[in-house]
Chain A
Amino acid sequence: MADRVVRVLVGKPGLDGHDRAAKVMARALRDAGFEVIYTGIRQTPAQVAQTAVQEDVDVVVLNNLTGAHLEVFPLVVEELKKRGRDDIYVLATGVIPFEDVELLKEKGIDEVFGPGTGPIHIINWIKEHVLGEKQGE
């Protein structure tokens, strides 16, 4: 059996046009050995969710820098549920204030990586949760 390769979708729901982080991070995730699919900007939650389903990814990394995360990220979770795939991990990244972290988790986001969190934390989280590999700090 071939090695288990992690598949990640980097999704940008909402009208946000900031794509520098998403593009750079897509490359960083590739360098970590993951297969990475990127939706591009200005996606609806349904677009992101259908992509995740078709590509059968392990993780969806949502990214939004313009303050729509509280409204838009939970809609992606809902869309995934509607499609029978709420088993896929959903992570939140971007300019997310601390007080929103719990609110997002209540709405089905598995983890939140706010301003200043380097990609290594996200990569380690994914390895730990998808591959079951404990990562040393």
Chain B
Amino acid sequence: MEDRKKILQVKEDWLSTDYAKFVAKVPERKHPFMLDSGIEINPLYTPADLDEDWSYLERLGFPGRYPFTRGVYPTMYRGRFWTMRQYAGFGTAEESNQRFKYLLEQGQTGLSVAFDLPTQLGYDSDHDLAVGEVGKVGVAIDSVEDMHVLFDGIPLDKVSTSMTINAPAAILLAMYIVVAEEKGIDRKVLRGTIQNDILKEYVARGTYIFPPRPSMRLIADTIMFCAEEVPKWNPISISGYHIRESGSTAVQEIAFTLGDAIEYVKTVIEKGMDVDKFAARLSFFFASHNNFFEEIAKFRAARRVWAKIMKEKFGAQNPKSMMLRFHTQTAGSTLTAQQPLNNIVRVAIQALAAVIGGTQSLHTNSYDEALSLPTEESVTVALRTQQIIAYESGVADVIDGIGGSYYVEKLTDEIEKKVWEYLDKIEKMGGMVPAIEEGYIQQEITDAAYQYYKAVADGEKVVVGVNKFVDPNEDLTKFHLHRADPTVREKQVKKLKELREKRDNQKVRKLLDDLRKAAEDENTNLMPYIIEAVRARATLGEITDVLREVFGEYRPPVIF
């Protein structure tokens, strides 16, 4: 490489002459240019802008090798594209099953299930609090019978299935296993993911049920159970997506997610499992937002920080334990109700950043994001966007094609530095659980969200179609929107009634009682008990109620 000093010298010269003269004539658009993460953007980056001790082998290395900055696999997309996985689910299991089949026919390569809110909160459809909520924003699942319908005709031994389920994740996983087994498929071959990340529910997503301690135990139980019994399953997807969508910065997204991850790893190790026995199956989930370079750098930094944490903090030996594998979703909160077609472009840019950033799977949002759940038409455009990036853009033909960009490398380093600062602070607070109980994390996110809002409201941050290039004659009523079927609750209530009449209620009561006793002993793994209850057709609500009785319900501090 050329002499660092020499480059700096010439750069100084350029800044004070050519650059300065130009600025004097045509002033720059902003003073200073800033990323939301609080990093200032210089006009230009050169090799000399990297740290003096910057080392290619240490900071980047090679794909599939520590510290995985350039990617977790040696060939990346030259072998196989990322998994194209659109989040879907609404109404009854029948309706959602139709949508799944449609998406698979269109070339989608994995499934991703959205559950309705009663399911996510452990209420059966006939619960009082489920009024107006059943099947609205996801599929309603009350028992393993619904789950059978949901996956009817879908080869569970071939397709991988991601389920966005958290507080009752163990129950839905149990249902998936029982469905597979009743179809004659061995649990050992099942591939997929449960989100199962409770800590971010407390600060960003809102579907928590139990207090932190029993919740962490349930998570440890599923991780340890899967390590032995369902070895190809990702028992957790540690999620920054929801933190980011709550308004955090890119740095906060990574810092708080890795902070959560540290907590999960600690918990399982404390339960006596060797780190290399489970860490390879931890997976992650991030957002891809608007700022193209910042997002790419963010993904690269996240991989590097996680690798260091696993190696240095937890002493992992297996390189797989150090790999940060992640799913990405484009940032819904950047998508506007105004001029919905513009969203297609935003999603394309964000998806491109995720792919260049090395994601393992991707959901692209639909252009009607701000208006309703996607229609078949809008979700198809979203899927096509991924297919165009994969097959036409050429970015997937090389590994980490942007690596070595002076700007992106510098940003990767700076983001990493800021992430460590947060992680140190959180560690001083005693880890993520106290930091959440104290409301610190929520405060940080809420403040960032407010700043973002202010910047848009003041016009400092331009959102095309919203605060600039507004179309005063816009008519949004022309868009055909998805409508929820209002009769889903009725149908589910009827099914529940029939189920409760048909099943062996005595057996259900006994199995629920066994579960209660098991729950009272912190050292018993609950998964086998839940599976048996599910198999006997105990409902989601009944199982959750037992756990509610033993664990209690939690209310995290609300900071606003």
Bound CA–CA A39/B439 (angstroms): 17
Q: Which residues of chain B are within 8 angstroms of A71 by Cβ–Cβ distance?
A: 131-132
Given contacts A15-B133, A68-B133, A72-B131, contact A28 B372 (CB under 8 A): no
Task: Tell me the interface secondary structure of chain B in the complex.
Answer: loop
Is A57's beta carbon under 8 Å from chain B? no
Q: Which residues of chain B are within 8 angstroms of A115 by Cβ–Cβ distance?
A: 337, 370-371
Bound CA–CA A72/B449 (angstroms): 27
Bound CA–CA A24/B207 (angstroms): 20
0/1 interface trace, chain A 22-48, chain B, CB 8 Å (1 if under): 111011100000000010111010000
Evaluate contact between B453 and A68: CB separation under 8 angstroms: no
Evaluate contact between A23 and B133: CB separation under 8 angstroms: no
Given contacts A17-B207, A20-B333, contact A97 B481 (CB under 8 A): yes
Evaluate contact between A116 and B205: CB separation under 8 angstroms: no
Min Cβ gap B464→A in Å is: 13
Evaluate contact between B137 and A66: CB separation under 8 angstroms: yes
Given contacts A15-B117, A68-B136, A97-B483, contact A116 B449 (CB under 8 A): no
Min Cβ gap A10→B in Å is: 9
Min Cβ gap A70→B in Å is: 7
Evaluate contact between B560 and A97: CB separation under 8 angstroms: no
Evaluate contact between B117 and A116: CB separation under 8 angstroms: no
Evaluate contact between A98 and B477: CB separation under 8 angstroms: yes
Evaluate contact between A38 and B453: CB separation under 8 angstroms: no
Q: Which residues of chain B are within 8 angstroms of A40 by Cβ–Cβ distance?
A: 558
> Which of A26, A38, A72, A98 lies in contact with B132, CB distance below 8 A?
A72
Evaluate contact between B449 and A15: CB separation under 8 angstroms: no
Evaluate contact between A67 and B449: CB separation under 8 angstroms: no
Evaluate contact between B246 and A20: CB separation under 8 angstroms: yes
Min Cβ gap A78→B in Å is: 13
Min Cβ gap A49→B in Å is: 16
Q: Which residues of chain B are within 8 angstroms of A119 by Cβ–Cβ distance?
A: 457
Mark out the residues of chain B between 96 and 155 whose CB falls within 8 Å of any chain A CB in the assembled complex: 117-118, 121, 129-133, 136-137
Given contacts A14-B132, A24-B450, A118-B457, contact A97 B372 (CB under 8 A): yes
Q: Which residues of chain B are within 8 angstroms of A16 by Cβ–Cβ distance?
A: 117, 206
> Which of B130, B245, B446 lies in contact with A23, CB distance below 8 A?
B446
Evaluate contact between A41 and B206: CB separation under 8 angstroms: yes
Is A18's beta carbon under 8 Å from chain B? yes
Evaluate contact between A24 and B371: CB separation under 8 angstroms: no
Is A56's beta carbon under 8 Å from chain B? no
Evaluate contact between A66 and B337: CB separation under 8 angstroms: no
Q: Which residues of chain A are within 8 angstroms of B247 by Cβ–Cβ distance?
A: 20, 24
Given contacts A15-B117, A97-B483, A116-B337, contact A26 B136 (CB under 8 A): no
Is B195's beta carbon under 8 Å from chain A? no
Q: Which residues of chain B are within 8 angstroms of A22 by Cβ–Cβ distance?
A: 560
0/1 interface trace, chain B 319-337, chain A, CB 8 Å (1 if under): 0000000000000010011
Evaluate contact between A44 and B132: CB separation under 8 angstroms: no
Q: Which residues of chain B are within 8 angstroms of A14 by Cβ–Cβ distance?
A: 117, 132-133
Q: Which residues of chain A are within 8 angstroms of B457 by Cβ–Cβ distance?
A: 28, 118-120
Q: Which residues of chain B are within 8 angstroms of A68 by Cβ–Cβ distance?
A: 132-133, 136
Min Cβ gap A137→B in Å is: 12
Evaluate contact between A95 and B477: CB separation under 8 angstroms: no
* Closest chain A residue, CB of each to CB of B137: A66
Mark out the residues of chain B between 348 and 389 whose CB falls within 8 Å of any chain A CB in the assembled complex: 370-372
0/1 interface trace, chain A 87-129, chain B, CB 8 Å (1 if under): 0000000010110000000000000001110111000000000
Q: Which residues of chain B are within 8 angstroms of A27 by Cβ–Cβ distance?
A: 450, 453, 560
Bound CA–CA A71/B558 (angstroms): 26
Evaluate contact between B560 and A44: CB separation under 8 angstroms: no
Evaluate contact between A97 and B371: CB separation under 8 angstroms: yes
Bound CA–CA A37/B116 (angstroms): 28
Is A19's beta carbon under 8 Å from chain B? yes
Evaluate contact between B484 and A19: CB separation under 8 angstroms: no
Evaluate contact between A98 and B560: CB separation under 8 angstroms: no
Min Cβ gap A53→B in Å is: 21
> Which of B245, B370, B453 lies in contact with A116, CB distance below 8 A?
B370
Bound CA–CA A97/B371 (angstroms): 7
Evaluate contact between A95 and B370: CB separation under 8 angstroms: yes
Bound CA–CA A79/B58 (angstroms): 64
Q: Which residues of chain A are within 8 angstroms of B129 by Cβ–Cβ distance?
A: 15, 44
Min Cβ gap B137→A in Å is: 5
Is B466's beta carbon under 8 Å from chain A? yes
Q: Which residues of chain A are within 8 angstroms of B118 by Cβ–Cβ distance?
A: 15
Bound CA–CA A127/B453 (angstroms): 21
A-B contact pairs, 26 of them (CB 8 A): A14-B132, A14-B133, A15-B133, A16-B206, A17-B207, A19-B558, A20-B246, A20-B247, A20-B449, A24-B446, A28-B453, A38-B560, A40-B558, A66-B133, A67-B133, A68-B132, A68-B136, A72-B131, A95-B371, A95-B372, A97-B372, A114-B337, A116-B336, A116-B370, A116-B476, A118-B457
Beyond the given pairs A20-B449, A97-B371, 11 more chain A to chain B contacts, judged by CB atoms under 8 angstroms and listed by A's residue number, are A15-B121, A17-B205, A26-B560, A38-B560, A66-B137, A68-B136, A71-B132, A95-B370, A97-B483, A114-B337, A120-B457
The 5 lowest CB-CB distance pairs between A and B, nearest first, are A17-B206, A71-B132, A116-B337, A115-B337, A68-B132
